[in-house]
Structure 1
């Protein structure tokens, strides 16, 4: 696990349902949103040659984990070797939300928000504006029946998001609080 500005990037080893192995899974977590757990957002599991997720058996861990780690690194949308930039991570959140819409999946409201908030936390106004533009486009096509129950309309959502993105002091306070809350003070910080 490592911190890249307002984001944590890591790999989890998700236990298989049979309990005999794990699925290596790359993920990120936005620290600019107060949340009680690490979200494992943008999760990408190791994919085998069949196109299905692949597990590593505990009994074969010492033989297979290096190969699995190398393949996961080559498959990941966000680099696991050279830390991605915050801009690359923000764009990946946005791309994920757009792809979810294209596949007919539920609106990825949190992913859009996360991309905008991490861009705002680093002061990248151009990236924030691009994220807000995409948020407006998606809000216009998201089916109302699939939006969160507490949805107050796209105008209220966009206005609230603009306000949160403009308040750098509040974003910084949330990030610092989340670092302490999740006990990440000793996690390696990379400036990108």
Structure 2
């Protein structure tokens, strides 16, 4: 995963050097270097995670599993990222990030704690976004809850939602499986 980042970094540095060395008739003109948008979906996802971590002054990239469904049916893939790294998990689950897919990358929509895989996309839609079905809790208190989009994001603490009846779970498409989804190694 370092190769796309190194390629992006070297491209940006080369462009900055060329811009600094160019002969400009107007020395007061502002020069802006447009950063290339990574064409690789994985690189774009990693860029979103890095931006999230940087905004919180965190340098270490955690282990994570991700999926790219179109949650709001706008034709662009959104990004679900389950940070299942020891620094992002507690006894009752891990942090789930939801990013909205946009033309130039991903924008953070919500951060939910205490989430356990599997993570599924429900058929039901609230305020234009599909519900997310996630597991919460452990032991006798474990179960599945539906996270409903409230117009700005998904609930920050899914453990506050009512557990769904296991015999009557809504229709859903699994995205991040409890055992089968590969983990992305920290860099």
TM-score by length of 1: 0.23
Larger Rg: 2
TM-score by length of 2: 0.24
